[in-house]
Amino acid sequence: MAALPYWRLSSFYLFYFALLGSTAPFLALYFDHLGFSSARIGELVAIPMLMRCVAPNIWGWLGDYTGQRLAIVRFGAVCTLLTFSLIFVSKSYAWLAMVMALHAFFWHAVLPQFEVITLAHLKGQTSRYSQIRLWGSIGFIITVVALGRLFEWLSLDIYPVALLLILAGIVVSSLWVPNAQPLQGERLAGDGFLQQLRSPGVLAFYACVALMQLSHGPYYTFLTLHLERLGYSRGLIGMLWAVGVVAEVLMFLAMSKILARFSVRRVLLASFLLAALRWLLLGSFAEYLWVLLFAQVLHAATFGSFHAAAIQFVQRSFGARQQGQGQALYAALAGTGGALGALYAGYSWNALGATLTFSIASLAAFAAAVMIATCMQEDRP
């Protein structure tokens, strides 16, 4: 990796996913601490995901049109920091909803464009992507364990300060990263984004991306509250979140060998089937620690293998001129599914309970597995 700015790229992923490690397990807990109902919590968590449906496509088009992807990353990082700092002004529902929408609009500008920059640095060696991306998982682990312990000792009132420190790290690391552009091949007739989107299996893949993120709705919105009400301490809950991401890191390390042996289609199919199993276990048997540990290990499939295979599918399905839009659509469909998952979980949590809410998630993942099995072709040699 002598010619690759490995640590500069990795540092950005570390801080970016450290932010996810501070929001996915603890954002709903913070809103619960402020006294909001489960329905309001689901709505507040869904707002950033809804913004993810729109923002990446706007920024993705701008990145492809101007080629200034790194400038967009840096601008998005700074604006995310500034808009999130508005959380200190008020804690009313309307104000928090505005803060969630504003910071998410800029936050979701960042990752799809950075993925294109990373792949450009890799110069087509996509199997090495996982070796960089795993530092995002490490950032997640460090944050979720540290904050889990911190919130056992201190009030959740300190939570916004912790997020601001991580956001500052994203800004600094974005300034450290060198620019790179994907190779621009000769434009051929019919190689536009919409034309490539209609290639066999591509639309089915994007629909399955939305279903996978929809199935994560109860997990990202209510798992911490679910486990806390089952009697687990916040420190242990943080460790359990970390177990999932450790499994994800190990999967990233193994993905180059896995994708060399198995097709992207088969990896995606296995990821969806294991996701369906995972949600059933979390909804029905989370009171048993050994079952909970096994379910968390399955994060290696529901995120690790799924994301690595999905990135490779997107990179292979679109030309250099459409990479930004392809990554942005991936982020947007993931945001759509995630928002719908958070919303349905928020409304069903009290009405239906944890078991049925997670069962709906399991059905969504299984439906995606059926679509992959029936609509996606095997990889071409």
Q: What is the DSSP string of 132-154?
A: HHHHHHHHHHHHHHHHHHHHHHS
Q: How confident is the model at residue 128 (pLDDT cuts 50, 70, 90)?
A: confident
Average pLDDT over residues 164-192: 77
Report yes or no on 75 lying in a domain: yes
Q: What is the identity of the amino acid at 3?
A: A
> What is the per-residue pLDDT for 287?
95
Residue with tokens 């009132």: 157
Residues 353 and 247 in one domain: yes
Residues 222 and 369 in one domain: yes
Of 179, 213, 232, which residue constitutes the final position of a domain?
A: 179
Give the other-Cβ count within 10 Å of 94's Cβ. 8
Q: What CA–CA distance (Å, rounded) separates 320 from 296?
A: 36
Decide if 105 contacts 332 (C-beta within 8 A): no
Q: How confident is the model at residue 266 (pLDDT cuts 50, 70, 90)?
A: very high
Residues with Cβ within 8 Å of 215's Cβ and at least 6 positions away in sequence, in order, are: 275, 276, 279, 337, 341, 361, 362, 364, 365, 368
> What is the per-residue pLDDT for 154?
87
Q: What's the whole-model pTM score?
A: 0.79
Tokens of 297: 């290990």
Residues 143 and 253 in one domain: no
Report yes or no on 185 lying in a domain: no
> What is the per-residue pLDDT for 193?
65
Percent of the chain predicted with pLDDT > 70: 91
Residues 350 and 262 in one domain: yes
Report yes or no on 187 lying in a domain: no
Report yes or no on 309 lying in a domain: yes
Counting the structural domains of the chain, the total is 2
Residues 175 and 201 in one domain: no
Residues 159 and 210 in one domain: no
> What is the per-residue pLDDT for 123?
78
> What is the per-residue pLDDT for 190?
43
Decide if 295 contacts 165 (C-beta within 8 A): no
List the CATH number of the domain containing 272. 1.20.1250.20
Residues 124 and 241 in one domain: no
What are the φ and ψ backbone dihedral angles of 288, each rounded to 5 degrees? Answer: -95, 115
Q: How confident is the model at residue 255 (pLDDT cuts 50, 70, 90)?
A: confident
Report yes or no on 252 lying in a domain: yes
Would the CA dihedral through 75, 100, 55, 120 be positive or negative? Answer: positive
Residues 353 and 211 in one domain: yes
> The domain containing residue 50 runs over which residues?
1-179
> What is the per-residue pLDDT for 112?
80
Residues 235 and 374 in one domain: yes
Average pLDDT over residues 166-189: 78
Report yes or no on 186 lying in a domain: no
Q: How confident is the model at residue 189 (pLDDT cuts 50, 70, 90)?
A: very low
Residues 153 and 242 in one domain: no
Residues 203 and 173 in one domain: no
Of 130, 156, 179, which residue constitutes the final position of a domain?
A: 179
Residues 170 and 219 in one domain: no
